[in-house]
Amino acid sequence: MPLLLGCSFKTYFSHARTLEWLRAVAETARQHPAVSDGRVELFALPQFPSIPEALETVAGSAGGGLVAIGAQDLAEHDEGAYTGEVSGAVLAELGCTLVEVGHAERRRLYGETEEVVAAKTTAALRNGLTPVLCVGEEDRMEADRAAEVVAAQIASALAPAREAGLTGQLVVAYEPVWAIGAAEPASAEHVVVVTGALRPRLRADTDLPGRIIYGGSAGPGLLPRIAAGVDGMFLGRFAHDPAAVTAILDEVLDLDPGTGLDGTDADAGRPGDGDAPPARAPR
């Protein structure tokens, strides 16, 4: 299963810079063996107004189709009198394949509750979009306890979709809230314990199979230390320079595709005695 590397631009990029970044990364994807060999799939989440031209840019570039485009949010409802909202139905119509849901900043700044996150997750699945469901503990705590907190968040977000009988793919972006925007990410040991506890359950789900990626000050140098427990990374400001994406793709080439650096089975997603490595983009 290929690793999934994605980047949300939040509101950092202008429209012009968004397209410039996409052209550069699409060209890298065309040439880089980590992508051409199927080891990595890429996605990007621009601001809403940039989505149509972003889709055209990646489709028409030399690396056409190698960077999936999604959105940073969506409405709970597919249509109606909801001024200012953008529906999953329209995102799917445009050609988006995935959408971010429940980022900590939306929970904090806009008061999105677990109920709202669940409704948006359901809206994404209802429209054939892969939710990139952001979860993570707010405060520092033991990794085993953090895994319990995150498992409860995932269960809450998926409950209405399960009740409605919806199926589809899921990407869980594990982002400890305390690590977002920090100078350093969570420790590799912490990440691998948390994601390793969740990964088998996500993969075993027959209706909503999921992969887990790590975000929260994620950038070059981190993947080799956590890849035994994750299926990829959700990159932030450290990937605003396309060269950083290239650096991470280079790191993928050094990963053993079958085992972690510590010799554990990567599919087991459990940490061993040392640091660790490797795993697909939504369609």
In angstroms, rounded to a whole number, what is the distance separating the alpha carbons of residues 192 and 187? 9
Task: Supply the residues annotated as catalytic.
Answer: 103, 175
In angstroms, rounded to a whole number, what is the distance separating the alpha carbons of residues 210 and 206? 9
- What contacts 24+ positions apart, CB below 8 Å, involve 93-97? 94/51, 94/52, 94/55, 95/55, 95/69, 96/51, 96/55, 96/69, 96/70, 96/71, 96/129, 97/43, 97/68, 97/69, 97/70, 97/129, 97/130, 97/281, 97/282, 97/283
